[in-house]
Amino acid sequence: MLSEKISKMLNDQVNLEFYSSNMYLQISAWCSSKGLEGGSHFFYKHSKEELDHMYKLFNYINDSGNIAIIGKIEEPPKSFSDFYSMIEKVYKHEQHVTKQITTLIDYCLSNKDYTTFNFLQWYVSEQHEEEKLIKGILDKSLMVQKEHIGIYMIDKYLSKISRDTTSS
Ligand code: OFO
């Protein structure tokens, strides 16, 4: 069984993952309203992944003999001034999620809850991947934002031809 404090911290994380899912679903709708089909599809898929993150925590709490509590989930932002500011917000959000996971891990270690510490390692790797993924989009968006669209297109082309030629 988990301590009351760790159970509460994990429940807060359940809510944060729910929030992430809702935030990305809302962004998917925003992208769609702007004719950004790629972005809409990307964030729709990402919203589902966040739900999986939430279920993992939800099940862990219940399997530990505690009870998962779904709290109030804040409304996500509905509109953005442009694509760049949207993706910047996403990056900041993922950094916030990483910080919360780190706080949880610190607490587990100092309170000798090695089982939860072990369980949370999956989230450590996941956050590393997610920050890398979103940072990549942010960097490319910055290029476009600064009107270096041509460079972005050339880089896309190079990436395509280098993949096409690696097997030959
Ligand atoms: Fe986007 O991250 Fe969940 O954990």
Distance 22 CA to ligand 1 centre (A): 12
Q: Give yes or no for residue 167 having a pLDDT over 60.
A: no
Contact assessment for residue 147 and residue 155, using Cβ atoms and an 8 Å cutoff: no
Span 38-69, pLDDT tens digits:
889 989 999 999 999 999 999 999 999 999 99
Contact assessment for residue 47 and residue 25, using Cβ atoms and an 8 Å cutoff: yes
Look at residues 77, 101, 98 and name the one whose alpha carbon lies nearest to residue 26.
77
- Domain 4-164 indexed as CATH 2.40.30.10: no
146 vs 159: CA distance, rounded Å:
21
Structure-token pair, residue 99: 């910080």
Residues 6 or more apart whose CB falls under 8 angstroms from that of 34 comprise: 83
What is the number of the ligand 1 atom nearest to the C-alpha of 123? Answer: 4
What is the number of the ligand 1 atom nearest to the C-alpha of 16? Answer: 3
Residue identified by tokens 């050339």 is 154
Which of 68 and 149 is assigned the larger pLDDT? 68
Residues 6 or more apart whose CB falls under 8 angstroms from that of 124 comprise: 101, 105
pLDDT band for position 28 (cuts 50, 70, 90) = very high
Decide whether any atom of ligand 1 lies within 6 Å of the 91 Cβ: no
Distance 90 CA to ligand 1 centre (A): 11
Mean pLDDT check: name the lowest of 106-110, 123-127, 142-146.
Answer: 142-146
19 vs 41: CA distance, rounded Å:
18
Q: What is the pTM of this model?
A: 0.86
Ligand 1, atom 3, residue with closest C-alpha: 50
pLDDT value for 69: 94
Distance 84 CA to ligand 1 centre (A): 20
29 vs 23: CA distance, rounded Å:
10
Decide whether any atom of ligand 1 lies within 6 Å of the 113 Cβ: no
Mean pLDDT check: name the lowest of 24-38, 41-55, 138-152.
Answer: 138-152
Distance 83 CA to ligand 1 centre (A): 21
Beta carbons within 10 angstroms of residue 7's beta carbon: 19
Distance 96 CA to ligand 1 centre (A): 10
